[in-house]
Amino acid sequence: MPSLYDLDRAGLAEALAGQPAFRVEQLWRGLWVEGRTVDEVTTLPAALRQRLGEEYPPALAARADVVTDRGATRKWVFALPDGATIETVLMTYPDRVTVCVSSQAGCAMGCSFCATGQAGFTRHLTPGEVVEQVITAARHAAPRRLSHVVFMGMGEPLANYATTVTALRRLHEDRGLSARHLTVSSVGIAPAIERLAAEGLPVTLAVSLHAANDADRDALVPINRRYPLERLHRACEVWFERTGRRISLEWALIDGVNDTDQALEELAEFARSLAAHVNLIPLNPTPGYLAQGSTRDRVRAFRDGLIARGVNATVRDTRGRSIDAACGQLAAVTNGRTRRVPVAAPGRR
Ligand code: SAH
Ligand code: SF4
């Protein structure tokens, strides 16, 4: 069993077979509403808690736990029961508390600039393993209420479609998070975007564009060869038509690669035609990709250039840079692929 959060009410009832029916509700409330560990659901008798804890141990064991931005950003590397590692980042802002979750251990998409892509694919996560990241982060965010979830950790959520949709539904329906506060970030798997648009889930979609001509995008994001820009654009239109929700386009600004005047024109046209919002992120350097993020001045000029062309653009803050909180980097270092050693914390089990 990967995670207790893979069980729905009927599954919990089965796990509690022989117990009075109200115990199911107590366990449900403890796990989903209050976000407790089984051991902390003190409405249940101690012996029962112990048995459940043994049968369903937590799916996530902390291998590293680092805090930065004066306590406002916290990043974990979690080992799953089979030893695969993922990362989860909790970010606290004045007006919201956001967790960034992984949907896969590793990623098969192979984007050249991404540490997760460089490390390759290990396996899909289960819905419960995604939800457990959210609940664990929520517990650590208390007394603040965790309000937002972004699927921007390791993995391509739309390449693990069933897990992503089930996790979204359960976070919305069972955890009570607002659907529009759930953001799926995708590298651009066009048919899956269209399918997600038909699920009746008004979530937020971010598409990692990074280049708006096929030659450049082929080099940065290999899946572009399968779903080139014209196909991706069509999927984005379907999304907008079916959900009425504007798309965000993610653009990691890479010095001399996609921060040129020509790139600006191409992006402006792509974004304007979709009424999309653009999120600019200066590239976080990774060991396997020898390029730098754009300079601060260039980032600002690029943003201003988009705005002058009628595109709504913002620069995403680079939370957690000092702890490699972006994009698979901390998991990569704990797997021994680079020399930097993170602060290790004792595991929870
Ligand atoms: N697979 C999904 C979600 C995970 S990646 C996707 O690609 O959208 C989350 C975001 O981080 C994506 O926009 C991705 O392009 C970006 N990213 C990856 N590596 C990066 C790096 N080194 N610097 C800045 N952003 C990066
Ligand atoms: Fe995978 Fe996203 Fe990284 Fe590309 S950017 S390799 S899709 S995690």
CA of 110 to the centre of ligand 2 (A): 6
- The predicted model gives 103-116 an average pLDDT of 95
- The predicted model gives 259-274 an average pLDDT of 98
Lowest mean pLDDT among 54-68, 140-154, 328-342: 328-342
pLDDT of 326 above 90: no
Return d(Cα 136, Cα 143) in angstroms, integer.
13
Higher pLDDT among residues 248 and 321, named by residue = 248
pLDDT of 105 above 50: yes
* CATH number 1.10.150.530 given to 1-57: yes
Tokens of 329: 């980097």
Q: What is the pLDDT of residue 70?
A: 83
HSE on the CB side for 153, CA within 13 Å?
Answer: 31
Higher pLDDT among residues 337 and 176, named by residue = 176
Q: What is the average pLDDT score of the chain?
A: 91
Q: What is the pLDDT of residue 179?
A: 97
Per-residue confidence band for 317, with pLDDT thresholds at 50, 70 and 90: confident
Closest CA to 220 of 276, 190, 259: 259
Q: What is the pLDDT of residue 323?
A: 57
pLDDT in tens, 25-35: 999 999 999 99
185 lines ligand 1 (CB under 6 A): yes
**Following DSSP, what letter does each residue of 252-291 receive, concatenated?**
EEBTTTT-SHHHHHHHHHHHHHHT-EEEEEEPPPBTTB--
Tokens of 277: 């919002």
Per-residue confidence band for 69, with pLDDT thresholds at 50, 70 and 90: confident
**Catalytic residue positions?**
87, 327
**Spans of all domains in the chain:** 1-57, 59-338
104, 107, 183, 185, best to mutate for ligand 2 pocket (most atoms within 8 Å of CB):
107
Please name which ligand lies nearest the alpha carbon of 100. 1
Give the DSSP H or E segment for 54: helix 46-55
Please name which ligand lies nearest the alpha carbon of 278. 1
CA of 78 to the centre of ligand 1 (A): 19
Return d(Cα 318, Cα 131) in angstroms, integer.
25
pLDDT of 341 above 80: no
250 lines ligand 1 (CB under 6 A): yes
Question: What sign has the CA pseudo-torsion 266, 268, 274, 280?
Answer: positive
Return d(Cα 30, Cα 346) in angstroms, integer.
25
185 lines ligand 2 (CB under 6 A): no
CA of 43 to the centre of ligand 2 (A): 42
Per-residue confidence band for 68, with pLDDT thresholds at 50, 70 and 90: confident
pLDDT of 223 above 70: yes
Question: What sign has the CA pseudo-torsion 302, 304, 309, 314?
Answer: positive
CA of 71 to the centre of ligand 2 (A): 27
Per-residue confidence band for 332, with pLDDT thresholds at 50, 70 and 90: very low
pLDDT in tens, 271-307: 999 999 999 999 988 888 989 999 999 999 999 999 9
pLDDT of 335 above 50: no
236 lines ligand 1 (CB under 6 A): no
- The predicted model gives 72-83 an average pLDDT of 94
Per-residue confidence band for 316, with pLDDT thresholds at 50, 70 and 90: confident
* CATH number 3.30.70.260 given to 59-338: no
